[in-house]
């Protein structure tokens, strides 16, 4: 049973306390025990007081005891509350650390793309969202009070056992049974029932339809206001009915628990009354046991269950996520160094790849050799697999079959950090840091001269000062246009080249620039990265003609490969697309 509790959400939640802060956790539990025994001592002291009054003895000792216990009961509560808040904050921080580690530590990406893990991540975060229970710093003082009540109830049940062993046991079991019987009736459980969740979704949509902007035009144009409000009211009423039905279903356990509680108390208090009438129990003992018997009621199911179970529910998810994410998002990393790679070539060797989330084959037996120091442009329509190739080259996934080789060595044999340090990449969905321009260009730090030079090469030297934060959300910050952001991202790659990266990978870094802007930027990049292995990805055929090699990709296959001049031979795909797009490019130029 102890093992089962340890593995339960509640058991694992309690296990977090000591890991988050050992001293606070020890203090927190210690105060529970101390505050828990005080009411039993209070009952004993009350008995002593009544006895002393009855026998005309000195009242000093019982009164002092009552005073000390009373002050203790009242003064320890706020101390315990503070300890609970601090411990809750520590637990929250510890759990956040676990979640961040889970997301960040796998070297690949697959774990962040799985919808089930994304759902788990959202649910795990609930420990601090206030949806299933209050944040831990607010919850822990209440949970402490709940445990203190339980400890006090047990101590008083033990005291009642000194009257009759069965009396303490009967009261303990009667009140204890409410936890089992009423567990299901807690309100938050009702909110999780499938039909309630489903109905709430309908209600929510009906509500959004009346108040949110997207539907506002149609609601007004078609005169639907009355209909929308009525629909919401009906659905809302339906939800109330379902909630009522759900709670009705739980009435039977309520009857059972009332019966048990009444029976237990009737037997014990009946026995006390009979003994009192027959004078087989003195007044002090009567007071002591009656008070303690009432105190056992602290064991009853109540708010504590909501706080405790609600807070515990997301914890297993937090603790298990790390392992699941690691299993899903890790890529293989070897020992080899990539210090000077590539010296000869990068080769996609019969690479097949399937995204783990969809099971759809994006590449099959893909072969492509990129000579070291050359520039390669990969062009192809949307969905051809260009970004997928880029991600495989950065070793964000392991190929399903085949290998990406650098100078003949499988990337999986090379130490991941060493390979990634060689690559400067700008992806389609590059990150826009809400940080100063300087950090956007050189997140890892670089001399200002290098940062300025990179910005100049990217055609972005006048957009802002290096200290300007690139977001209006901050004092003195500024917003950039889509095209300006792309130039900043390019500057980031060019800066990395200055700092020693040997492979430059640009995945549609210029999609938001006009055709002429893209052609100009590509030419600048080729100029700035001469002698490095450069891979430019674009779906525009007309802008990459100065690359040494052009690879036309479609449906995960190389359709054509060669220099611009070679590919301009009659009948080819590249030639057709180039002429089509270039003619528009020239038209645009004439218009300007």
Ligand X SMILES: Nc1ncnc2c1ncn2[C@@H]1O[C@H](COP(=O)(O)OP(=O)(O)OP(=O)(O)O)[C@@H](O)[C@H]1O
Q: Which residues in this chain contact Mg ion in the complex, by CB under 5 A?
A: 386-387, 428
Which residue number, 347 or 386, has a Cβ lying nearer to Mg ion?
A: 386
Find which of ligand X, Mg ion, none residue 309 binds, CB within 5 to 8 Å per kind. Answer: none
Q: Which of residues 54-113 bind ligand X (CB under 6 A)?
A: 113
Q: Is 354 exposed, middle or buried (0-12, 13-18, 19+ CB in 10 A)?
A: middle
Q: Is 223 helix (H, G, I), strand (E, B) or coil?
A: coil
Beta strands in 268-414 (DSSP E): 345-354, 361-371, 375-379, 401-406, 409-410
| DSSP conformational letter for 479 | -
Query: Considering the rule CB under 6 A, would residue 387 count as an interface residue with ligand X?
Result: yes
DSSP state letter for 462: T
Q: What backbone torsions phi and psi does residue 178 show, to the nearest 5 degrees?
A: -60, -30
Binding mask 410-449 for ligand X (x = CB under 6 A): ------------------x---------------------
Report the residue number, 329 or 385, with the smaller CB distance to ligand X: 385
From ligand X, Mg ion, none, interface partner of 383 (C-beta below 5 to 8 A by class):
ligand X
Span from 98-106, 338-346, 382-390, 454-462 in contact with ligand X (CB under 6 A) = 382-390
User: Is residue 384 involved in binding ligand X (CB under 6 A)?
Assistant: yes
Measured from the CB atom, the residue of 105 and 428 that comes closer to Mg ion is 428
φ, ψ of residue 519 in degrees (nearest 5):
-60, -40
Per CB under 6 A, the list member of 145, 177, 388, 440 interacting with ligand X is 388
Contact partners, residue 312, CB within 8 Å, separation at least 6: 8, 9, 10, 12, 13
Residue of the chain from 146, 168, 310, 385 that contacts ligand X (CB under 6 A): 385
- Per residue, the 3-state secondary structure of 390-446, as one string, reads HHHHCCCCCCCEEEEEECCEEHHHECHHHHHCCEEEECCCCCCCCCEHHHHHCCCCC
CB of 356 to ligand X, least distance (A): 8
**Beta strand extents in 451-584 (DSSP E only):** 503-507, 533-538, 549-554, 557-562
Phi and psi angles of residue 287, each rounded to the nearest 5 degrees, phi first? -60, -45
CB of 381 or CB of 417, closer to ligand X: 381
Which residues are within 8 A (CB) of 454 and not within 5 positions of it... i.e. 6 or more apart?
A: 441, 442, 491, 492, 494, 495, 498
CB of 433 to ligand X, least distance (A): 22
Stretch that binds ligand X, among 251-259, 304-312, 386-394, 577-585 (CB under 6 A): 386-394
Restricted to residues 112-141, the positions that interact with ligand X (CB under 6 A) are: 113
Closest distance of CB 584 from ligand X, Å: 18
Residue 388 interacting partner from ligand X, Mg ion, none (CB closer than 5 to 8 Å by kind)? ligand X
User: Interface with ligand X includes 386 (CB under 6 A)?
Assistant: yes
Q: Is 463 or 551 the residue whose CB approaches Mg ion more closely? A: 551
Peptide bond into 342 cis (omega under 30): yes
Binding site for ligand X (CB under 6 A): 113, 355, 357-358, 362, 380, 382-388, 428, 539
């Amino acid at each position: 049973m102890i093992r089962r509790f340890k593995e339960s959400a509640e058991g694992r939640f309690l296990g977090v306390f000591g890991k988050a802060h050992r001293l606070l956790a020890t203090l927190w539990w210690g105060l529970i025990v101390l505050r828990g025994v005080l009411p039993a001592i209070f009952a004993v002291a009350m008995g002593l007081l009544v006895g002393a009054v009855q026998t005309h003895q000195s009242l000093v000792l019982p009164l002092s005891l009552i005073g000390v216990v009373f002050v203790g009961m009242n003064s320890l509560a706020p101390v315990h509350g503070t300890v609970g808040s601090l411990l809750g904050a520590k637990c929250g921080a510890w759990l956040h650390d676990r979640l961040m580690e889970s997301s960040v530590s796998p070297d690949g990406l697959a774990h962040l793309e799985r919808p089930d893990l994304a759902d788990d991540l959202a649910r795990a975060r609930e420990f601090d969202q206030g949806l299933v229970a209050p944040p831990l710093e607010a919850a822990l003082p209440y949970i402490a009070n709940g445990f203190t009540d339980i400890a006090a109830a047990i101590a008083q049940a033990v005291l009642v056992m000194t009257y009759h062993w069965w009396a303490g046991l009967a009261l303990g079991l009667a009140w204890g049974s409410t936890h089992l019987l009423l567990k299901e009736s807690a309100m938050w459980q009702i909110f999780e029932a499938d039909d309630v969740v489903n109905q709430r979704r309908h209600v929510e949509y009906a509500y959004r339809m009346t108040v949110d902007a997207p539907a506002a035009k149609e609601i007004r144009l078609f005169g639907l206001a009355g209909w929308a409000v009525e629909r919401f009211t009906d659905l809302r009423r339906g939800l109330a009915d379902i909630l009522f039905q759900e709670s009705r279903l739980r009435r039977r356990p309520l009857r059972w628990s009332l019966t048990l509680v009444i029976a237990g108390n009737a037997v014990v208090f009946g026995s006390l009354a009979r003994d009192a009438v027959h004078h087989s129990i003195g007044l002090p003992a009567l007071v002591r046991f009656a008070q303690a018997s009432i105190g056992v009621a602290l064991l009853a199911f109540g708010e504590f269950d909501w706080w405790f179970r609600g807070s515990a529910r997301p914890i297993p998810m937090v603790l298990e996520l790390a392992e699941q994410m690691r299993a899903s998002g890790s890529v293989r990393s070897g020992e080899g160094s990539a210090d000077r790679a590539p010296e000869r070539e990068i080769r996609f060797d019969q690479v097949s790849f399937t995204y783990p989330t969809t099971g759809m084959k994006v590449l099959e037996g893909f072969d492509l050799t990129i000579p070291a120091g050359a520039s390669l442009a990969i062009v192809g329509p949307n969905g051809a697999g260009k970004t997928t190739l880029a991600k495989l080259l950065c070793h964000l996934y392991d190929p399903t079959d085949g290998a990406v080789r650098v100078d003949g060595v499988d990337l999986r044999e090379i130490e991941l950090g060493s390979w990634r340090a060689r690559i400067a990449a700008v992806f389609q969905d590059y990150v826009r840091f809400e940080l100063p321009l300087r950090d956007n260009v050189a997140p890892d730090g670089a001399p200002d001269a290098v940062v300025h030079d990179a910005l100049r090469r990217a055609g972005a030297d006048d957009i802002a000062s290096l200290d300007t934060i690139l977001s209006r959300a901050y004092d003195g910050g500024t917003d950039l246009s889509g095209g300006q952001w792309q130039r900043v991202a390019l500057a980031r790659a060019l800066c990395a080249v200055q700092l020693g990266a040997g492979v430059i990978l640009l995945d549609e870094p210029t999609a938001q620039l006009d055709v002429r802007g893209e052609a100009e930027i590509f030419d600048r990049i080729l100029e700035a990265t001469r002698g490095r292995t450069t891979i430019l990805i674009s779906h525009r055929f007309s802008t990459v003609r100065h690359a040494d090699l052009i690879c036309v990709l479609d449906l995960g296959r190389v359709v054509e490969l060669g220099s611009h001049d070679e590919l301009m031979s009659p009948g080819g795909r590249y030639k057709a697309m180039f002429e089509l797009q270039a003619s528009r490019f020239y038209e645009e130029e004439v218009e300007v």
